[in-house]
Each structure stands twice: as C-alpha cells, then as structure tokens.
Amino acid sequence: MRFLADESVERKVVEKLREEGFEVISVADIVAGLPDEAVLALARQKQAVLITADKDFGELVYRRGALHEGVVLIRLGDLPSEQKAEIVCQVVKCYGSALKNAFAVISETGVRIRQPIR
C-alpha cells in the first residue's frame, strides 16, 4: 500500500512508516505549498492513501464529495513526535487495506474508519 504524506504530517511519522517498509511519498519533498485540492488529486494520481493532520480534508471528502484513495487524519494533539509516529505506524499495520477508500481518524482515544458516500 502506498501513502502520500501531506505537509502537515510530522517528519518522524514519515520516517517511521518508511523504516517499517511502507512506501511513503512526502508532499514536502515534491512541492511545498500545494492547495488541499491539489494534494488530494496527487494522492489519487499516485493511487496513495493520504495521511494528514489537516482536518480540512474532511470538508473536501464529506461536504464536497471529492474523490480519493483514502484519507488518514492524525488528531494526536501534543503527543511527542516519536509517540505519534509509533501510533500511526501501528494503525497502518493493524488496519492496512481497510484504510483504502475510507476516511480514518486516529485520535488519542482510538481509531474511527468510515466509508464516505461517493
């Protein structure tokens, strides 16, 4: 499974996923400052699940009906970067293919995965 990490995702999360063998493309490494719509389109083009900390993607997916390959929203507050990286990596390992075409939220209280209406 391929992932596209939005600029809002901490570098430690990207590095940890890569260390664990996941293919992660980082928007920050490609072109900085892309609008959210362009990031979502890039994820679709790359057939990648988007990982982000920007809740505006929920607006795009649910209210505007934007097409996507899947979105993982990280809502882990002020946890240390290393701890966020561990949690995100565990979620990706545990839920894997269930993240494809879904909207998932990772929070300190758990993981919610929903299939948006298309």
Give pLDDT tens digits for 58-75: 999 988 989 899 999 999
Q: Per-residue DSSP letters for 19-37?
A: HTT-EEEEHHHH-TT--HH
Considering the chain, what percentage of its residues have pLDDT values greater than 70?
97
Place of tokens 């809502």: 75
Q: How far is CA 77 from the centre of its chain?
A: 15
Residue 118: pLDDT above 80?
no
The pTM of the full predicted model, rounded to 2 decimals, is 0.94
Partners of residue 75 on adjacent β-strands: 107
**Domains annotated on the chain, with CATH:** 2-114 (3.40.50)
What CA dihedral angle connects 78, 31, 38 and 83, to 10 degrees? -20
| Dist CA 17 CA 28 (whole Å) | 16
Per-residue model confidence (pLDDT) at position 1 = 87
